[in-house]
């Protein structure tokens, strides 16, 4: 193999240089998510370890009374504030860009669907969970990607940079991933971080943590200032620490 061939392969495989391809699932997951053209930065530590258990849980499960400025944009009730430790009941599943995505429109969301883009999720842990999965599915769909990055993320430098990078025709991928689990890393009524676990078609596992904020009456993904849409991707050996959940 010539030096020029090696150089070409390295340019085509930035994840190889970053040490993330520890299992076949990462290849498949990256093939789906990296077409957003916003790859994560290298990490100095091994990302293969499963996430810690939930570190923050509200002290009660009462339904809060939201201020008008924070009320759901589609009128969904806030619902219970308990962080789920088992699969949320009453969930139906719909395919969005090939990814099975949870739906319970009158309880958790989506309360709005506009040209295929789903939005408006309840101000609750389950609502945030639905919103996180919905974002991954929508941003992985080339037909919804630009709109998802623009409308389903929180205002700020990160969104501005991300929007600039997903303009124009978007490439697609033949690979498919499906949600298989989740865990809450933290939760408050206006912010949360949820770690989602996915399985690729070849059976491998990977995880993707997402931070969300309650902004203007809906859950929005909080992008880092770099504009990376899917930061923190990494392989996991199994679903230890995750609540098994998925629709496929």
For 35-78, the pLDDT digits (tens) are 332 323 333 333 344 444 444 444 344 444 445 668 999 999 99
Residue that wins the pLDDT comparison between 94 and 58: 94
pLDDT at 203: 85
Which residues are CB-contacts of 147 (< 8 A; sequence separation ≥ 6)? Answer: 115, 117, 138
pLDDT at 47: 39
pLDDT at 173: 56
Mean pLDDT taken over the chain:
79
Element at 103 (helix H, strand E): strand 99-103
Please name the residue that has the structure tokens 């969904």. Answer: 76
Residue that wins the pLDDT comparison between 193 and 173: 193
Phi (first) and psi of residue 14, to 5 degrees: -60, -30
Which residues are CB-contacts of 170 (< 8 A; sequence separation ≥ 6)? Answer: 35, 142, 143, 145, 146
Which residues are CB-contacts of 105 (< 8 A; sequence separation ≥ 6)? Answer: 111
Dihedral sign for Cα 205, 179, 232, 175, please.
positive
pLDDT digits (tens, 9 = 90+) for 125-178: 999 999 999 999 999 899 999 999 999 999 999 999 999 988 877 666 556 789
Query: What region does 98 belong to: left with phi over 0, alpha with psi -120 to 50, or beta?
Result: left
Element at 15 (helix H, strand E): helix 14-18
Best CA proximity match to 213, nearest among 159, 139, 144: 159
Q: Is the pLDDT of residue 19 over 80?
A: no
Please name the residue that has the structure tokens 């200032």. Answer: 225
Q: Is the pLDDT of residue 188 over 90?
A: yes
Phi (first) and psi of residue 198, to 5 degrees: -125, 150
CA pair distance 188, 160, nearest whole angstrom: 25
| Lowest-confidence region among 188-192, 218-222, 228-232 | 228-232
pLDDT at 232: 87
pLDDT at 248: 72
pLDDT at 166: 85
pTM of the model: 0.76
Distances (CA, A) of 49 to 147, 207, 233, 240: 33, 10, 11, 10
Tokens of 77: 């009730």
Confidence of residue 97 (pLDDT cuts 50, 70, 90): confident
pLDDT at 69: 61
pLDDT at 55: 43
Q: Taking CA 125 as the corner, what is the angle to CA 194 and CA 96, rounded to the nearest 5 degrees?
A: 65
pLDDT at 11: 39
pLDDT digits (tens, 9 = 90+) for 109-139: 999 999 999 999 999 999 999 999 999 999 9
Q: Is the pLDDT of residue 210 over 50?
A: yes
């Amino acid at each position: 193999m010539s030096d020029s061939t090696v150089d070409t392969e390295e340019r085509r495989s930035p994840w190889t240089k970053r040490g993330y391809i520890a299992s076949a699932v990462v290849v498949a997951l990256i093939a789906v998510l990296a077409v957003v053209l916003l790859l994560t930065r290298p990490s100095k530590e091994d990302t293969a370890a499963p996430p810690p258990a939930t570190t923050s849980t509200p002290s009660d499960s009462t339904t809060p009374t939201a201020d008008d400025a924070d009320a759901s944009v589609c009128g969904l009730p806030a619902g219970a504030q308990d962080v789920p430790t088992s699969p949320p009941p009453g969930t139906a599943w719909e395919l969005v860009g090939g990814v099975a995505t949870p739906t319970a429109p009158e309880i958790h969301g989506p309360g709005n669907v506009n040209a295929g883009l789903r939005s408006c999720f309840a101000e609750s842990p389950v609502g945030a969970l639905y919103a996180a999965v919905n974002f991954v599915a929508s941003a992985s769909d080339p037909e919804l990607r630009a709109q998802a990055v623009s409308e389903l993320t929180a205002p700020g430098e990160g969104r501005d940079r991300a929007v600039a990078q997903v303009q124009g025709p978007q490439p697609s991928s033949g690979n498919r991933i499906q949600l298989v689990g989740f865990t809450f890393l933290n939760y408050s009524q206006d912010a949360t971080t949820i770690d989602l676990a996915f399985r690729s078609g070849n059976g491998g596992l990977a995880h993707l943590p997402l931070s969300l904020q309650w902004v203007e009456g809906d859950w929005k993904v909080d992008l880092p200032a770099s504009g990376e849409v899917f930061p923190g991707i990494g392989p996991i050996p199994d679903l230890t620490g995750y609540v098994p959940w998925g629709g496929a």
